[in-house]
Structure formats: structure tokens, C-alpha cells
Amino acid sequence: MTRILVMVGSLRAAASSAALARALVERLPDGVSADFADIGSLPHYCADHDGGDAVARLLAQIRAADGVLFVTPEYNYSMPGVLKNAIDWASRSAYQSVFRGKSCFVISVSGGAMGGVRAQAHVKYVLNAMLADVFPFQEVIVPEAPKKVVDGRFADEPTLAFGAAAIAQWTDALKRAA
């Protein structure tokens, strides 16, 4: 069984990024399971302490996963602070973090026409700094995402089909690498 960890970059219950992540997890290929990280429970990053149980739980989830799927909105031309905080906790120690060599796939969403491309680029840039293995293809960028959520569910079939196919390519690569 291939195991992925999903990190959603928004804490808002009705976030389009969360709705998209849930819908894509429902479409995972056979033999792939997913857990969701609770990045909202993490304290603010501070190198003076270890972050306690919440950080230990996140690190254990990342270690146990074959890959990490990020689904993030774009805030002020970048990734949300809560997602950066989670990545910062997982980045310790430098060049030896749990992300070193970890396969990662990044999806971005936004209410605008650019689909969060800047946030996606920033997440990938930071992951590269930690020597993560960022999956390069297919990029999934979802513009006008809030319009694609109906009654709390992501309902845009072309986006879901494209996203599920891209994730299938990634998880196939994870299975081959195992």
C-alpha cells in the first residue's frame, strides 16, 4: 500500500483547497491511501523548543508517508503562513529533515485567474531547499476555485479528472520507487 500525507494550506472549514483535497483523495488509485496532517495544531515555529506533541505527530506522519501532497491557496502572492510554519517545523535539522528525498506533489488554488501559481512556485522553492523530491509533472493549478465548490464539495469534473490523473502519475512513480 502506498501512503500519502495531505497538507492543506488553509484552516478554513469551507476552503476550496480543503474541498479539492477531499475530492481528490476520494479518487486516489487502488493501492493508495491518504492521511491528513493537522497543521493548525502546530505552535509558531521557534528553534528554542521542539514544538511538543503536535510537531512530533507531524514529523511521524511525514516519515511514515511515501509522499506528501500539498493543496494550497495563495495568500498575498505566496503560500499561507500556516503552511510555511508546518514546513519550517519539518525542516529541522537543515539538510537532514524528514523532507530530504521525500516525494512531494504541489497543487495550488485561488479565487483569481492565475490559480495560485505564485504560491505553488514558493512551496516548491522551499521544498527544494530541504532537498525534497518535488514531482515536476503535471502541474495542477486551479483558478477561480471558490466557484467550483457546491455545498462544500469540489464539483468541477474537468479539474477533478485532471488532478486525479496527475496524482495517479505521481503515485505510480512512488510505487515504482518503492
**Confidence at 95, pLDDT banded by 50, 70, 90:** confident
Mean pLDDT value of segment 89-98:
91
The reported pLDDT for the residue numbered 93 is 85
- Residue 170 C-alpha cell reads as 505521481
- With a cut of 90, say whether residue 34 has pLDDT above it: yes
Distance CA 51, CA 123 (A): 22
Q: Is the dihedral of CA 89, 129, 16, 18 positive or negative?
A: negative
CB contact at 8 A, 23 and 44:
no
| pTM, two decimal places | 0.97
Superfamily of domain 2-177: Flavodoxin domain (3.40.50.360)
User: Taking 90 as the threshold, does the pLDDT of residue 91 lie above it?
Assistant: yes
Q: Note the pLDDT tens digit of each residue in 127-177.
A: 999 999 999 988 999 999 999 999 999 999 999 999 999 999 999 999 999
Predicted pLDDT of residue 108: 98
Percent of the chain with pLDDT over 70: 100
- Rounded to 5 degrees, φ, ψ at 153 are -115, 140
